[in-house]
Amino acid sequence: MRSCLLLSALLLVACGDETDKSTDDGSDGTTDLSDDGGDDGSGDDGGDEGSGDDGGDDGSGDDGGDDGSGDDGGSGLEMGESDSYAAMGCDLLDSEPERLVLGISRSEANTAVIVPDDETAFLLEMPETGDGWFTVEVPDWMTVVRLFTQEGVELEIYGGEGFSEVLLNGACPDAGISDQRWAFHEWGAYNIRVAEGAPAEVWFTLVKEE
Amino acid sequence: MRAWLGLGLVVSSLTACGPGAATKVTGGDVLVELDLPPHFPDFPYPVPTQAKADLGRLLFQDFRLAGNGTRSCGICHEGKKGYTDGFVKAVGSEGGAHTRNTLSLLNLAWRGPLTWVKPELTDLYDQMEVPLFGEHPVEMGADPDELPARLAAIPLYPPYFRAAYPDDPAPISMANIQDAIVAYETLIIAGDTPYDRFLQGEAEALTSDEAAGMELFFGRLACDACHGGLFLNLPTDGAGEVVSDVPEYVNIGMYNVDGAGGLPPEETGLHAFTGVASDMGRFRVPSLRGVAESGPWGHDGSFNSLEDIVDAYARGGRELVGGPWPGDGATSPHKDPRIAGFALTEAEKGWLVAFLEALTDPEANARPFLQTPFCPDEPDTGDVGCIVVEP
């Protein structure tokens, strides 16, 4: 049911998307989020821990081999742990996501701000071309945040440090949701880049670990 | 250094305390020895007693003032962040997002209007009730009916209150809490920037880039039309003379969300209080002292870098192509006519930013008096003089 609800949302999105940003075409009506749209030649399979600018998006189709998952358009990520935080991310698939139009550059990131509350999911609207940018305000010190988004979507987080590779959310592996742990030593505002090549609308949420 | 000997005396009474002890309290009516930077105006508040300043320091830095113990004044106005918090928009103790960027407390004693949008709010004592007790939004979430009793139950505090208010038979009161915090806040003074040293005749205090930026700032670009005076927050005339002792409220063309000069509805500036159309997007001109450390910038923190701000001014207003609030601020009918744009090379932009960075007092954050006296949560900090907060 959870996957179906989410898929419905994505199918609606796909209908209105005339760009080639997403290859999550949903054409068979059965696609789930694990159809990561990574085969668009963007060379970005989203599996690079989300941390670095891999210099991708060059259309080279070079997946970088960063996580060994390859870029087969399937669920190439390693399975993550099915813990309570992963489950919270899965539960948020059932919630009505809040829409957020992303900025087109880092200069605009602070106009699109998310404050984590552990109970809101977002539908990030990508620019027509290029990367999308937003900012997360982390309200605590020494915090580990779990970031969940569609498999294949590359997030680059400015500040903090990765605590894990990008994994498949082990609590709902069929939903096609990636799961990564990110540590923030200090509270504050952190810019996030959503790499070009992501679907026109990207499901995203985040949960703080206690 | 010489200017801070007086504040150093204040420090001594706290740092003498061992962990958890904190019993050495400065008594009597000894005043803080204010030795202001020589080019600063007279101190506009009564010089506090050392005991009151000590108490104010404790209260300012103590997380236990927040209703849920997660915020202190000092953590949201942190020295290394230019006495701001580093957020785009502040986040309250209960996790709620605010609508404005946190303002710096540097040189607060000379501030005048204290907030982004309320000209009448000039009294620190009154203003403090907003972060302490405000509910829309919650900042610290303190309860004025409960806080004095809570502090009275903490062994650290009664001796300090008695010393600070020796003639008050019931010194642990909300009025005294606010009074002591005001006393401390007014002592957050920074006046030893490269620019200050230049003003005092040290010709080599500014690098060539900083000096070139200063020339642009006060010359061709006339930034001082709004950011004038010693604290770079007062309007000046064409000759650089300050023409008012209070800052202006200016729409700098940050937004034009509806083609009619509108702002994001959550924060519209003076307009929200006056209802006057021309007040749309007008916010108080902030001091630029310490500006390089106080980002993100703007009333809502939506500027991500000093370069972005300069670009917006050069363009005659900011254009947002993406994000929730696209629009061209340069075409806002409410934009101040002085924000007319200018030509600027990349080199000149670098100089201008260099000058803004020269408005930082490198020692402002290092003064012990401005540090928290409480031990951090992490063990092994090696700070044997800090006060341990019992869980």
Name the 3-class secondary structure at A39: coil
Give the span between the Cα atoms of B101 and B299, in whole angstroms.
Answer: 5
Tell me if residue B357 falls in helix, strand or coil. helix
Out of B95, B296, B323, name the one closest to residue A189 (CB). B296
Report the residue of B88, B306, B372, B377 to disrupt the A interface, i.e. the one with the largest count of A CBs within 10 Å.
B88
Which of A63-67, B206-210, B253-257 is the least confident region?
A63-67
Say if residues B40 and B191 touch (Cβ distance below 8 Å).
Answer: yes
Q: What is the pLDDT of residue A104?
A: 98
As given in the structure block, the two tokens for residue B297 are 């910038």
Instruction: Give me the pLDDT at residue B380, please.
Output: 56
Q: Does B85 score more than 60 pLDDT?
A: yes
User: Which of A97-111, B43-57, B235-249, B369-383 has the least mean pLDDT?
Assistant: B369-383
The proportion of chain A whose per-residue pLDDT surpasses 90, expressed as a percent, equals 63
Q: Is the predicted pLDDT of residue B23 greater than 90, yes or no?
A: no
Residues of B in contact with A111 (CB under 8 A): 302, 320, 323-325
pLDDT surpasses 80 at A37: no
Domain A2-208 has CATH 2.60.120.380: yes
C-beta atoms of B86 and A189 within 8 A: yes
- HSE-up of B349 (CA within 13 Å, CB side)? 16
Instruction: List, for residues B131-153, the tens digit of each pLDDT value.
Output: 999 998 899 999 999 999 999 99
Cα–Cα dist B214/B191, whole Å:
17
Half-sphere exposure at residue A35, Cβ-oriented, CA atoms within 13 angstroms: 17
Copy the structure tokens of residue B333. 């009918």
Exposed (0-12), middle (13-18) or buried (19+): which is A1, by Cβ within 10 Å? exposed
Question: B251, B268 in Cβ contact below 8 A?
Answer: no
Q: Which residues of A fall within a CB distance of 8 Å from B139?
A: none
The 8-class DSSP code of residue B223 comes to G
Work out the pLDDT band at B382, boundaries 50, 70, 90: low
- Write out the two tokens for B32: 């803080």
In tens, the pLDDT along B27-52 reads 678 999 887 999 999 999 999 999 99
In chain B, which among 2-61 make CB contacts under 8 A with chain A?
none
Pairing of strands A201-208, A121-125: antiparallel
Is the model's pLDDT at A9 over the cut of 90? no
- φ/ψ region of A57 (left if φ > 0, alpha if ψ in -120 to 50, else beta) reads left
Q: What is the pLDDT of residue A34?
A: 41
A70-79, B165-174, B250-259: the lowest-pLDDT one? A70-79
Q: Is pLDDT of A202 > 80?
A: yes
* Average pLDDT score over residue span B324-338: 98
Digit-coded pLDDT (tens) for A113-143: 999 999 999 999 999 999 999 999 999 999 9
- B323:A111 CB<8 A: yes
Residue B368 confidence (pLDDT) = 85
Name chain B contacts of A145, Cβ cutoff 8 Å.
none
A99, A102, A104, A113, best to mutate vs chain B, most B CBs in 10 Å: A113
Residue B349 has pLDDT above 90, yes or no: yes
Q: Closest Cα of chain B to A120: distance in Å?
A: 13
Residue entry with tokens 């880049």: A193
pLDDT score for A24: 37
Quote the pLDDT of residue B267. Answer: 96
pLDDT band at B378 (very low <50, low <70, confident <90, very high): low
Going from the N-terminus, what domains does chain B have, and what CATH number goes with each?
Answer: 2-191+362-370 (1.10.760.10), 194-357 (1.10.760.10)
Classify residue A180 by burial, with Cβ atoms within 10 Å: 0-12, 13-18, 19+. buried
- Answer yes or no: do B87 and A110 touch at CB < 8 A: no
Mean pLDDT for all residues in chain A: 75
Contact A110 B303 (CB under 8 A): yes
Asked if B320's CB is within 8 angstroms of A189's CB, the reply is: no
- Looking at residue B390, its pLDDT comes to 73
Element (H, E) at A167: strand A167-168
Token readout for A132 is 């999308």
CA distance B220 to chain A (A): 26
Res B223 pLDDT > 60: yes
B97: closest chain A residue by CA = A115
Identify whether B137 is preceded by a cis peptide bond (ω within 30 of 0): yes
- Span B62-71, pLDDT tens digits: 999 999 999 9
Cβ A112–B324 below 8 Å, yes or no? Answer: yes
pLDDT number for residue B386: 87
Rounded to two decimals, the pTM is: 0.84
Name the residue of chain B whose CA is nearest to A116's CA.
B95
Out of B87, B305, B308, whose CB is closest to A188? Answer: B87
Report which listed range, B55-59, B94-98, B130-134, is most confident.
Answer: B55-59
| B88, B321, B326 ranked by CB distance to A113: nearest | B88
Pick from A108, A113, A188: CB nearest B322: A108
Residue A2 above 60 pLDDT? no
Residue A12 DSSP class: H
Q: Model confidence over A51-105: pLDDT tens digits?
A: 333 333 333 333 333 333 334 345 589 999 999 999 999 999 999 999 999 999 9
> What's the CA dihedral at B273, B274, B278, B281 to 10 degrees?
-10
Among A63-67, A194-198, B334-338, the least confident range: A63-67
Residue from B86, B110, B112 nearest B188 by CA? B110
Cβ pairs A/B, distance under 8 A: 72
One-letter identity of residue A159: G
Question: What does the alpha-carbon distance between residue B226 and residue A133 come to, in Å, rounded to a whole number?
Answer: 32
For B8-13, what is the mean pLDDT?
Answer: 38
Nearest-angstrom CA–CA distance, B130 and B136: 9
| Closest among B314, B304, B254 to B280, alpha carbons compared | B254
Q: What is the mean pLDDT of chain B?
A: 90
In chain A, where the domains are located: 2-208
Name which of B71, B75, B87 to mutate to probe chain A: the one with the most chain A Cβ atoms within 10 A of its Cβ: B87
Q: Average pLDDT for residues A156-184, to the nearest whole number?
A: 96
B226-236 residue pLDDT tens = 999 999 999 99
**CA–CA distance, B358 with B379 (Å, rounded to integer):** 35
User: B322, A102: Cβ pair inside 8 Å?
Assistant: yes
> Which of B132, B126, B127, B107 lies closest to B286 in space, CA to CA?
B107
More confident residue, B119 or B329: B329
Residues of chain A with a CB closer than 8 angstroms to some CB in chain B: 100-113, 115, 117, 127, 132-133, 135, 137, 139, 186-189, 191
Give the rounded distance of the alpha carbon of A158 from its chain centre. Answer: 15
Supply the pLDDT for residue A57.
37
Cα pseudo-dihedral B21, B22, B24, B25, rounded to 10: -150
- Inform me whether the pLDDT recorded for B315 exceeds 90: yes
Query: Touching check for B130 and chain A: CB below 8 Å?
Result: no
Q: State the Cα–Cα distance between residues A127 and A106, nearest whole angstrom.
A: 13
